[in-house]
Amino acid sequence: MKVVMWHNPRCTKSRQTLQLLQERGIEPEVVKYLETPPSAEELEEVIGLLGFSSPRELMRRKEKEYRELELDDESLPDAALIKAMHAHPRLIERPVVIVEDDSGRRAAIGRPPENVLALFE
């Protein structure tokens, strides 16, 4: 089983999610996504894994970049939203945990941190 976590060490929920996994003996590959943003393709895949109908569901809408880039414009295509998240990774909701095993790939957002435990049931 491969476990990857998009992590922001300054975020309480992200730290709590990492601790929750580690307490269960799960050592994820930690990706500090602010330093190494996911590609547009990775973002697109994770949006699908999460079951979201729009990239906007993965966005932190209260970030100043969201307002400054006028991302609340409903006419923006999905590709523009994904491009914005890649260019400005602070816009990505956190933390994201991605699991890959024999049954496939799946993902969850650790808000609350316990949400990610469903990936291991």
Distances, alpha carbon 58 to alpha carbons 17, 75, 82, 119, in Å: 17, 17, 9, 18
Return the number of other C-beta atoms located less than 10 Å from residue 91's C-beta: 23
CA 109 to chain centre: 6
11 is catalytic: yes
From the list 7, 11, 18, 96, the catalytic residue is: 11
Active site residues: 11
